[in-house]
Structure 1
Amino acid sequence: MKALTFKRYGKSPDIGFATIDTPTLQPDELLVQVHAAGLNPIDNMIPQGTFKLVMKFQLPAVMGSDLAGVVVAVGSRVTRFKPGDEVFASTFDLDRGALAEFAAVPESAVALKPTGLDFVQAASIPMVGLTSWQALKECIGLRRGQKLFISAGSGGIGTFAIQLAHHLGARVGTTVSTANVALVRDLGAEEIVDYKTQQFEQVLTGYDAALGTVRGDTVEKALGILKPGGRLVSLIGPLDAAFAEARKLNPVLKFVLGLMRRKVVKLAGRKGVDYAFHFVRPDGRQLAEIGALLQAGYIRPVIDRVFPFDEAPQALAYLALGRARGKVVVQLR
């Protein structure tokens, strides 16, 4: 089968198309014929080696993390799906990719595709949907009436997280460029800061929680807009002690990570704010709940561009520019 792979970590990961064997199913897996694959910024970061110490891949590795397609075979222990089912899933952190003609996916990571979505729309959802769901509902425990700040509201996670937070009854503040103000307002954001003309930490105040989605000093600045007792959840680091412990990292790496997060933890302590790092995990049952919200129209996919499979490297390059409004998707069929 045809797949987009990378062969090594670093500045020259040798990304390109390869012909590889169709995956052999384990008893708890489904073989999915991939119709579309959603792209995420981390898909560009993994070949660079950014997560080499905490994520394991057998090289060469298939790229991509989100998919939607049709089940063509199931393992002997699979009970919830059958050939012909239209599904979507995240393969993130499972040592397998989505940018291939077929993918073997654990049953636990799969959900039925909402009937109201096509494959491209469904493929845009898994990682941003699960990240938002887990961050807002599990890590923050977001409640109706609370104020939540989400950086980079027009990005893939931002466009989904704004809608989910709005559905949960929160008041949402965010940052975007001038051209994207109308988009995020339509998604449910109430306090919108144009980062080209204002600094959000000088405008916003009294927030209960913040979701950090972009690199740089945004995470540290977000601490300043939170109430005492507030909670900052970062999706981009620094990694916290709980993550290091869960990954069973060696003592030297734990020490290094401790030094890296010392500044933000110290600042959070001064503000009386709790800091946590969140690393998304695949979860088919949560994805099914997210699918129900999409089917009911409470949340809608936001897609910037769709590329054909042959142009998947160009799609990744476009995503790396950081200008996408919503998601970038690769269509295989």
Structure 2
Amino acid sequence: MAHHWIATRPGGPDVFSYEEYDVPAPQHGEVTIEVRAAGMNPADAKHVASGAGDFPRGLGYEVAGVVSAVGPDTETGSGAVAVGDEVLAFRISGGWATDVTVPAADVFAKPASLSFGEAANLLLAGTTAAEMLQVTGVAEGDTVLVHGASGAVGVSVLQQAARIGARVIGTASPASHDVVTRFDGVPVAYGPGLEQRVRESAPEGVAAALDCVGTDEAVDVSLALVADRSRIVTIAAADRAREAGFTHIAGAMPASKAYRASVRADLVDLAGSRQLVVPVARTFALADAVEAIELLMGQHPGGKLVLEP
């Protein structure tokens, strides 16, 4: 019997329930995946806490595994597919599971160079980072400020910005400065005096600011350093963005959803050639998802977390 995690109602991890369920047989345009790894993201818990959508609802937006069934006349986002193929999938619903049936358009061939854990944690952070760079028009030669550069989205921004040819100043705690440095960023500690530290690290000026944390400090410093508000973006401070007239993006927004879907295949190719790395910190048994999400939401897990059935 298959198992999955659901949120029974809005709330915290106490509303998560691990249950048996019958996996639907795939119809036209669908595949069933035997999950080998499920990715974990703050959005998994935040969307439940917000109360958005219908309940009960599945948890988890991305997985990697092996195709166990294919609907009739079906191709994935990568093309032809067969039982036994190794794949990853995003953006799906209910990925914290032993098995899941999903739209085939959201499924891509897993590069052999990626572990299942890496593949299952690639695309939510990766597509978010890509959109942040796109909406702020980051180009070769720009100096960019990234708040929360050692987190999952920040690490992907660092790598994708380097490919563009941009220079990144990344805020992080001193304990995480080595992460920023590893991915070619210039680390600065957040906290009092941040604006001055960034100015000293970027005497040429800051062309764009990308906020992955949503603190007032991050927003205030971004506004102080970047005159053109169209070149400031946040994924975590929607209210401040509306008040101050800069950009807020989120996966549920139609434009964000469409853009992120459009870059999935390219990001899979980059990861497959090891031009985009997914640092994995810890692996948990699927049944221990509540322990894992509490670690994730407690901040600074040191990399991505993986659930393994």
* TM value normalised by structure 1: 0.81
Work out whether 1:145 is the aligned partner of 2:141. yes
Query: Does the residue aligned with 1:300 lie in a helix, a strand or coil?
Result: coil
Task: State the match for 2:152 in structure 1.
Answer: 156
Counterpart of 2:87 in 1: which secondary structure?
A: strand
Q: What is aligned with 2:232?
A: 232
1:201 aligns with 2:198: no
Code of the aligned partner of 1:62 = G
Task: Please name the residue that 1:130 is paired with.
Answer: 127
Report if aligned partners of 1:152, 1:158 keep a CA contact under 8 Å in 2: yes
Kindly indicate whether residue 90 of structure 2 is the aligned counterpart of residue 90 of structure 1.
Answer: yes
**1:8 to 1:88, Cα distance in 2 relative to 1, 3 A:** same
Task: Find the aligned partners of 2:229 and 2:42 in 1 and give their Cα distance.
Answer: 31
Query: How far apart in 1 are the matches of 2:284 and 2:99?
Result: 18
3-state SS in 1 of match to 2:276: coil
- Give yes or no for contact 1:23–1:102 (8 Å, CA) kept in 2: no
> Can you give the 5+ residue segments of structure 2 that lack an aligned partner in the other structure?
200-204
C-alpha separation in 1, matches of 2:110 and 2:138: 26
Q: Are residues 1:102 and 2:99 paired?
A: yes
8 Å contact 1:108–1:284 — kept in the other structure?
no
For residue 183 of structure 1, what is the amino acid of its counterpart? Answer: V
Contact 2:223–2:229 (CA under 8 A) maintained in structure 1: no
The residue aligned with 1:288 is 265
Q: Using the alignment, how far apart are the partners of 2:241 and 2:190 within structure 1?
A: 25
The corresponding residue for 2:202 is none
CA change 1:317–1:26 in 2 (3 A) is same
Distance 2:230 2:195 in 1: 15
Q: Secondary structure at the residue paired with 2:158?
A: helix
1: CA distance, partners of 2:6 / 2:232 = 35
Given the alignment of the two structures, is residue 316 of structure 1 paired with residue 275 of structure 2, yes or no?
Answer: no
Counterpart amino acid of 1:128? A
Residue 184 of structure 1, aligned match among 173, 180, 184: 180
The 1:13–1:314 alpha-carbon spacing in structure 2 relative to 1, beyond 3 Å, is closer
| 8 Å Cα contact 1:108/1:285 also seen in 2 | no
Contact persistence 1:207–1:230 (CA under 8 A): no
Residue 38 of structure 2 aligns with an amino acid whose one-letter code is A
Q: Assess if the C-alpha contact under 8 Å between 2:136 and 2:233 holds in 1.
A: yes
Between the aligned residues of both structures, percent identity stands at 28
Equivalent-residue separation in structure 2 for 1:300 and 1:194 (angstroms):
23
Deviations 1:31-88 (A, max 9, x none): 111110111111111221x261xxx23x221211111111112222422222222111
1:304 corresponds in structure 2 to: 281
**TM-score normalized by structure 2?**
0.87
Instruction: Give distance in 1, aligned partners of 2:120 and 2:190.
Output: 30
Gaps of 5+ in 1: 240-259, 266-273
Is the Cα–Cα contact under 8 Å of residues 13 and 290 in structure 2 kept in the other structure?
Answer: no
C-alpha distance in structure 1 between counterparts of 2:73 and 2:130, whole Å = 28
Deviation at 1:11, TM superposition (A): 4.8
Q: CA RMSD in A?
A: 2.1
Deviation (angstroms), 1:13: 5.3
Is contact 2:214-2:234 (8 Å) kept? no
Cα pair 2:127 2:263 within 8 Å, conserved: yes
- 1:255-274 equivalent positions in 2, closer than 5 A: 261-265=241-245, 274=246
SS of the counterpart of 1:224? helix
Aligned length: 293
- Cα distance in structure 1, aligned partners of 2:100 and 2:33: 5
SS at match of 1:19: strand
